[in-house]
Amino acid sequence: MKLEGGCYCGQVRYQAEGEPIMKAQCHCRECQYISGGAPNMFLLMPAAGFSYTKGAPKEFKRSDLERPVTREFCPECGTHLITRPSVTRALVVKVGTLDDPKLFGTPQMAIYTIDKQAFHHIPEGMPSFERLPSR
């Protein structure tokens, strides 16, 4: 599939082509900051099919971690667009930045439930993992 999206103000735009590797909701503490408190809905997409088509994001990496992820967001409006893990050739696309978030369908699993808040919702019967599913 080919997904297109961008930030809230429209300065940064992207396209992501390929089959989603994972569709999930992440409950980790870091995602809570970025989502506003809720779990973060994301698609894991092949990095090779991703490119910015307009503008360029600002990047942030924590300096106190051994293998920090790179968070990319609009320098103007602050919308978080993607996260690049340091260990895989895939990247995390934030569902709320898709032009058509309906294309997400539904998440397949909940991850990092170790940080789950009592007000987070996990649909009945959805596989959930304290951290990541083992491969």
Three-class SS of 99-133: CCHHHHCCCCEEECHHHCCCCCCCCCCCCECCCCC
List the one residue from 3, 31, 43, 95 that touches Zn ion (CB under 5 A).
31
Nearer to Zn ion, 48 or 132 (CB): 132
List the one residue from 3, 16, 74, 90 that touches Zn ion (CB under 5 A).
74
Task: Check residue 93 for interaction with Zn ion (CB under 5 A).
Answer: no
Helix (H, G, I), strand (E, B) or coil at 43: strand
Record the tokens describing residue 14, joined without a space.
């992207």
Distance CA 82, CA 72 (A): 5
In angstroms, give the least distance from the CB of 4 to Zn ion: 15
Task: Check residue 95 for interaction with Zn ion (CB under 5 A).
Answer: no
Task: Check residue 3 for interaction with Zn ion (CB under 5 A).
Answer: no
In angstroms, give the least distance from the CB of 90 to Zn ion: 15
Distance CA 118, CA 111 (A): 15
| Site for Zn ion, rule CB under 5 A | 7, 9, 11, 26, 28, 31, 74, 76-77
